[in-house]
Amino acid sequence: MKPKFLVGGAVIAAALAYMIYAGVTQSAVYFVTPSELGSAAVAGKAYRLGGMVERGRGGIVGISSAAGLVGVFGFGAYAPSKYAVRGLMDVLRAEVEAKGVYVACAFPPDTLTPGFETENLIKPPETAAVSGGIKPKLPEEIGAGLVRGIEKDRHVITFDPQTALLAHGGGLVAPIAYRLMDREVRRTPHP
């Protein structure tokens, strides 16, 4: 069991609540949100990472998004920070995993949160068409999946078959995903 985690993203509250309920966390949980990337807040949390490296144990899970795996129409303001979380976790894994610190990145799909409900009120029709066939997950499902991924020492944590395919077959699957999304965007009627 990993005693410390550094997590961030849209479903932190549900995931954290589930992790505490499931007894996964034994001490503090540290948060890094995409908006903090490159800021002093990350530097302070990096100090805690140094403690994990010194002890030779601990864990870091970055919360990206399925939109951090493939560019999606309408997510120009959202997706870049999710790609950044993914990149940060890749670099940290390369730098600290050999020193005993577990590093993973989670890629949740659409999740039924108040933010998601608000997003649905303003998302462009093209984005709605692209994501229309995807059933959003409950926050509790994301929390439980996060715990399972950590317990299984997964470095890439996904929550549905489509995202798993993108995460593990990215270079081969992304062109197909782009073609399908482009088709949906072209078919979307414009007001």
Residue 139 near residue 110, CB atoms below 8 Å = no
Burial of 107 (0-12, 13-18, 19+ CB in 10 A): buried
Question: How large is the average pLDDT for residues 44-68?
Answer: 76
CA–CA distance, 108 with 146 (Å, rounded to integer) = 9
Annotation marks residue 82 as catalytic: yes
Domain that holds residue 90: 5-187
Structural domain tally of the chain? Answer: 1
Q: Is the dihedral of CA 88, 94, 98, 103 positive or negative?
A: positive
pLDDT at 2 over 80: no
Annotation marks residue 30 as catalytic: no
Q: Residue 171: its pLDDT value, please?
A: 74
Domain containing 133 — which CATH number?
A: 3.40.50.720
Other C-beta atoms closer than 10 Å to the C-beta of 127 total 20
CA–CA distance, 85 with 79 (Å, rounded to integer) = 10
Predicted confidence band at 6 (pLDDT cuts at 50, 70, 90)?
very low
Annotation marks residue 102 as catalytic: no
pTM (two decimals): 0.73
The enclosing H or E element of 67 equals none
Beta bridge partners of 107: 158
Q: Which of 82, 102, 131, 137 is catalytic?
A: 82
Q: Which of 64, 65, 81, 131 is catalytic?
A: 64
